[in-house]
Amino acid sequence: MNGRSNPFTKPEDRSLTDQDILRSIQQGDERTYETLFRHYYASLCQYGFSFLKDWEDAEEIVQSVFVTIWEKRQSLTIETSLKSYLYRAVHNRCLNRIKHLPFRRNTSSTSLPKPTPRKLRPRR
C-alpha cells in the first residue's frame, strides 16, 4: 500500500486482507475506518487534484467518498481491492464534478478580439 508499511496488522503480525478490513468496517470498527482514511487520504487528494486543479474540491470529494463508505458500510460490497475501489470512486466523482461545472473562460473578455461586423450582400 503506497510503499509504506501496512497499518493493518494484527498483533500476531499477520497483515489483514482487504476483506478483513471491509468486514471490520462493516461491523462498525471506527479505528479500522480511521486507519483506512489516514492511510489513503493524502494520495487520494493528490489524485483528485490532478483532475480538478483545486485542493478544496479534491478534499471535499475524498471526504465524501469516505463518508459514503461509512454510511453504507453494512451494505457495501467491494469486488476489487480497497485501493482500487477508493481510487475509482474518487475518479468517478471528479469526472462528475467536472461535467457539472459551469464553463470557465481562462481569459478575460477584454482580451478577446472584437468581432468585426460583416456587411451583408443582397441576394441576387
Task: Give 34-59 pLDDT, tens digit per residue.
Answer: 999 999 999 999 999 999 999 999 99
pLDDT at 112 over 70: no
CA distance 41 to 101: 24
The arithmetic mean of pLDDT across residues 66-86, rounded, is 95
- For residues 44 and 87, the answer to whether their CB atoms sit within 8 Å is yes
pLDDT at 9 over 90: no
The arithmetic mean of pLDDT across residues 5-29, rounded, is 79
C-alpha cell at 79: 469486488
Residue 68, CA distances (Å) to 2, 31, 62, 108 in order: 23, 17, 10, 39
Average pLDDT of the chain is 84
Lowest mean pLDDT among 4-18, 24-38, 60-74, 75-89: 4-18
C-alpha cell at 102: 459551469
| pTM for the whole structure | 0.73
CA distance 108 to 88: 35
pLDDT at 103 over 80: no
* pLDDT score for 124: 63
pLDDT at 121 over 70: no
